[in-house]
Each structure stands twice: as C-alpha cells, then as structure tokens.
Amino acid sequence: MFKLLMKTLTVLLTAGALTGLSSQTSSAATVTPTWGHWGSLTITYHCASKSAYYRSIWQQAVGQWNRTGVVRLRAVPTGQKADIELTSAQSITRAQVFAGYTDYSYYKRPHDNRIVFAKSILDRGILTSYRYTKTQRVNVATHELGHALGLSHSQDKRSVMNATNRYATISAQDRIALRGAYAHQRA
C-alpha cells in the first residue's frame, strides 16, 4: 500500500495576467499539464462570496467546466461541506500581485495525487484596478477552478490555464488534459 501524505499547495494567477503579456510561446501541440484529480467525477462546491456579481462570475466558470462533459460540479448549500470553496476578497495579501489563487489539499501518491479540498479566491481590488471586463473575470475564475480540478499551468496562450492570459477560455488541450486526469474514473 502507498503511504499517503497530505500536502497543501497554493497556485496563483500571476501578475503577468494583469497586463496580458507573456514571454511564453504558444504551440498547438502544447498539452495542459495535470497534477491530480478528485476521487469522483461529481465534485461539490459552495460559493461563499457575499457579492452577487462575483457569485455570477463563479457560476459562469462552473458552467464552462461542466460543459466539458468530463466532471460534474454540483452546488451544495451553506453549512454542507463542499469539496471546493469559491470566494472573492477585496485584496489578497501575498508577496506579489495576483488576480486570483487556489489553495488545495491532496494525498500525494505515485502518479495519482488525490485532491481532498480546494479553495479558489478572486481579488476584487486587482480585477477592478486593472479594469478586467466581466468576461476576463470569468476567465480568471475558470483558470482558478481548473487548478481546483487538478490542472497545472499551460504554455499555450490559447489555454485558460496559461498563467498570464486573462483573454483565454477553455481550450481543446484543456479538455484533453481534464479527460486524461479523470480517465481512470470513466472506464
């Protein structure tokens, strides 16, 4: 049997996303990397943001991942334990400027990291001061939720998982990566 180790990581949408500039190259063959997955194809979430506007941002991001047909994100009411918590804050205290970030806990296993909890947050102050449109805010939320589902940063500028592109939505490579991360559960 594997010795299970609980790990906690933080994944951040970098400050490069604020300007949309990147020195990374784009390639049609770039595959979005994955780092883990949930133990089920149905993953619960709770949106804890007090802002109706940001709840709608998160709801659109959830809808985008649900439309991939790979996982089913299902809302749970307040007070019920959710796998993923979605929220927003006026500011995020970090050493750098970030539009959003995701913290998650997982069991580290060889070739099979199992996610057990994630929390994704959007920085309302940064998103407002850099004049992100609603569509760009949804893209950031979709990016952060992608981390909560087990996706890593992509080098492809067309990928929602590119760390410095607030203009991208879920790409074909993102869908392929998500299917790969959850393939063992679909068989």
Q: pLDDT at position 8, please?
A: 41
Q: pLDDT at position 186, please?
A: 67
On whether residue 28 sits in a domain, the answer given is no
Q: pLDDT at position 12, please?
A: 39
Q: Give the chain's domain count.
A: 1
On whether residue 70 sits in a domain, the answer given is yes
Domain ranges, residue 82? 34-186
User: Residue 101: what are its φ and ψ, rounded to 5°?
Assistant: -155, 165
Task: Find the CATH number of the domain harbouring 57.
Answer: 3.40.390.10
Report which residue type is found at 165.
Answer: N
**pTM assigned to the model:** 0.85
Going by the DSSP 8-state scheme, the letter that residue 96 receives in this structure is S
On whether residue 101 sits in a domain, the answer given is yes
The three-state secondary structure class of 129 is: helix
Q: pLDDT at position 21, please?
A: 29
On whether residue 2 sits in a domain, the answer given is no
| Residues in the chain with pLDDT values less than 50 | 1-27
Residue owning tokens 């569509």? 135
On whether residue 6 sits in a domain, the answer given is no
Q: pLDDT at position 13, please?
A: 40
Element (H, E) at 146: helix 134-149
On whether residue 12 sits in a domain, the answer given is no
Q: pLDDT at position 153, please?
A: 96
